[in-house]
Amino acid sequence: MKKYVVSRFLQLIPVLFGITFLTFALLFLAPGDPAQRKLSAQGIAVTREVLDQTRKDMGLDRPFILQYGGWLSGLLRGDLGVSYKDGTPVADKLSKALNYTLILTVSAFLLALVISLPLGIFCGVRKNGFLDHTIRLFCFAGNAIPGFLLAALFMYFFCIRIRLFPVIAKSSIQGLFLPALTLSLPLASRLIRQVRAAVLNQMEMEYVDGAKARGVSEMYILVFNVLRNAMISILTVLGMSVGAFMGGSVVIESIFMWPGIGKLVMDSITARDYPVVLGFVLIMTLIYVVINLLVDISYHFLDPRLEEL
């Protein structure tokens, strides 16, 4: 297991190098001048002399490969650079915003599990019933409706019509609920279908019939046998959903004005704040790889037979 973990982290090095290089190249080729935007935001008259000096101070007058090499050497020293927008260290800006994003994503993940596990088990046990068909219909709708449209609908009904929640999400439970619900529903829709399919598959196994013949209660079989054996496929869906989940959080945070890393990076893209965008890409890649690694490791605890492979 230790060799496997070390090898996965060694494989992460070329992945990070390739992703950051491509991101830096796309930002370099993108239209717009960060120096000009910075001067305009500060209310300074943009003249050729001032613009050239600002570009030199920001290191934008150097060739592409030297700019990337300077950023990469700083990264190896643990320095993500400073923001073009306000000169704040990128690490400080990202760490502050990341706390809010972790609160939102963890809340949305837990909410998705609370919704999907009981409903998925119920649909698997009571398959082809009226409630089973109704829940599956809502699952198709939850997968089909884009996140930004779902956020707009929730904002209209719950914030404007009913006025139950604030339009601009605040760092409180009341402000957290709608963004978390919007982010969790697409994932819950996928998980309900996956849990239902896994439960149906496990219920056809011979060990379930044997446990029932021995007088074991159906609830005990579902929780401690069926659900445990179905967790591998459920964790696979969770691991594969990390990328879409992180990408969705960027849009949801921007719509609800949640002060997380998603809103920060959207503002940074608009302002051409390249160091912040690169730091965001680096952190998201690390989170994605680490979560998928944890999912792979969990397989060995759920099914010890995998150790022999």
Superfamily assignment of 95-308 in CATH?
MetI-like (1.10.3720.10)
User: What does the buried/exposed string (b/e) look like for 201-211 if buried means 16 or more CB atoms within 10 Å of the residue's CB?
Assistant: ebbeeeebeeb
The predicted model scores a pTM of 0.78
pLDDT in tens, the chain (309 residues): 677 677 777 877 888 888 888 888 888 887 777 888 777 777 777 778 888 888 888 888 888 888 888 888 888 888 888 888 888 888 888 888 888 888 888 888 889 889 988 898 888 888 888 888 898 898 888 888 888 888 888 888 888 888 888 777 766 777 888 888 998 888 888 888 888 888 888 887 888 878 888 888 878 888 777 877 777 777 777 777 776 677 777 888 888 888 888 888 888 888 788 888 888 888 888 887 787 777 777 766 666 555 554
Domain boundaries, the chain: 2-76, 95-308
CB 255, CB 155: distance < 8 Å: yes
CB 256, CB 178: distance < 8 Å: yes
